[in-house]
């Protein structure tokens, strides 16, 4: 089980993150559509990238310090997948980011992190 203060990771197009930094706040489409921002724990990033973003390039993984968020992190299994993922039910302050990691593909074409 991942600790409550573990870093959170969010996969996003590099250009979308640059815009968030410029405005100071990140509001992905999921916030308007589903009411929350999807995050992953470190060990979930590569699998999530390959499952949901396998056809996209130009992605980065933004690492967040949960203590810098304005809203609580809710760990939940919304899709009955048998695994909890962190979600935040609010816009994300760009200042909560502590690092931006490139997302690279391995020789087999799959993302690795």
Place of tokens 């992605």: 59
Range of the domain at 51: 8-112
Residue 1 lies in a domain: no
Rounded Cα–Cα distance for residues 64 and 69 (Å): 8
Residue 77 lies in a domain: yes
CA angle at 23 for the pair 78 and 18, rounded to the nearest 5° = 75
Residue 2 lies in a domain: no
**What's the number of domains the chain is made of?**
1
State the pTM of this model. 0.93
Residue 3 lies in a domain: no
Residue 99 lies in a domain: yes
Quick: pLDDT tens for 25-59: 999 999 999 999 999 999 999 999 999 999 999 99
Rounded Cα–Cα distance for residues 61 and 82 (Å): 24
Quick: pLDDT tens for 49-107: 999 999 999 999 999 999 999 999 999 998 888 999 999 999 999 999 999 999 999 99
């Amino acid at each position: 089980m991942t600790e409550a203060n573990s870093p959170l990771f969010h996969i996003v197009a590099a250009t979308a993150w640059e815009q968030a930094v410029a405005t100071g706040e990140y509001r992905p489409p999921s916030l308007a559509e589903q009411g929350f921002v999807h995050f992953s724990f470190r060990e979930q990033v590569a699998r999530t990238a390959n499952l949901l973003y396998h056809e996209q390039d130009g992605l980065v993984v933004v690492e967040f310090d949960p203590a810098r968020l304005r809203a609580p992190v809710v760990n939940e299994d919304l899709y009955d997948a048998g695994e909890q993922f962190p979600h935040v039910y609010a816009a994300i302050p760009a200042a909560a980011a502590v690092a931006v990691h490139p997302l690279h593909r391995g020789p087999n074409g799959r993302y690795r992190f």
